[in-house]
Amino acid sequence: MKYMIMLYASQQDYDAMAESAANPSPSTGEDFAAMGAFMEQWNKELVESGEFVDARGLAAPVHTRRVRLRDGAPVVTDGPYPETAEVLAGYTIVECDSFDRATEIAARLTECPAPAHVRARAMADVRLIVEERGDLEA
């Protein structure tokens, strides 16, 4: 079965990473470098175990457009969205034997080093990927 592990962040997190890249300080630069190294190793281990399918990071919310239907017409809004604290920052798709195994894989993300303000808000969701319509009825 395939599962999507969805990683969340905020516009503030993206801003901090951009600021760190533009003006590296010893603490934040090292924090974000350690975070990147952890994620690379996490993905490598999933490739080696044969459970890795795909992974992608997403651009900052400021580079997002939301499309909604209002009064029968599509309405496009540029991000970020003040009513949304967290947004999808990236995802990893794994193929493994069970929901419990996918959750175990996602739980490793709690070991990811990051600045304290990022770790305090960090979260991931694990969801089964629907392969066929019948899976929706479960």
Q: Which residues pair with 126 in a beta bridge?
A: 5
- Taking alpha carbons only, the member of 51, 43, 136, 134 closest to residue 90 is 43
- Tell me the per-residue pLDDT of 36-58, one tens digit each, with 9 for 90 and over: 899 999 999 999 999 999 999 99
- Domain that includes residue 113, residue range: 2-137
Rg (CA), the chain: 17
Q: Domain holding 72: CATH number? A: 3.30.70.1060
CA dihedral over 78, 126, 8, 60, signed as positive or negative: negative
The Cα-based distances of 44 to 20, 49, 50, 123, 131 in angstroms read 25, 9, 10, 21, 25
Q: Which residues of the chain have pLDDT under 50?
A: none
Q: What local confidence, expressed as pLDDT, does residue 13 receive?
A: 80
Please state the domain count of the chain.
1
